[in-house]
Amino acid sequence: MGFYIFISVLLLIVCILLGLIVLIQNPKGGGLSSTFGGQGNQIMGARKTADFLEKGTWVLSIVLLVLSLIASYAIPNRQSSENAVKSELSVDQESVLPTTLPTGTTALPEEAPAE
């Protein structure tokens, strides 16, 4: 159970980081690099910033995919715990429900055959 919580927290962190990186980028290619002078100004590192954001997006996307697959295998098995609860209930019900008729009662009378 602890491993599943750890993976869930990692997934949450990766999702937030991926969302922030995607929001920083401009879908038309400008993004953060256009703020610092556009495509022509590569001396200040604006082009490198765009490359870093693009690589960061790919890396975080792959990490998100891998963590999602790991989380699917780390999910606690609910079915076995439900079966255990059902078996406990059935044992309790068997001890409460009578299997024989109480003394002093008779079974339901059968109908007389038709003449």
Inside any domain, residue 63: yes
Q: pLDDT tens digits for 4-18?
A: 889 999 999 999 999
Which letter does DSSP use for residue 99 in this model?
S
Distance CA 73, CA 10 (A): 15
Distance CA 40, CA 38 (A): 6
How many other CB atoms are found less than 10 A from the CB of residue 96? 7
Inside any domain, residue 101: no
CB 19 within 8 A of CB 56: no
Q: pLDDT tens digits for 42-61?
A: 455 566 777 888 899 999 99
- CA 74 to chain CA centroid, Å, is 9
Count structural domains, the chain. 1
Range of the domain at 50: 1-26+38-76
Which letter does DSSP use for residue 109 in this model?
P
pLDDT at 93: 54
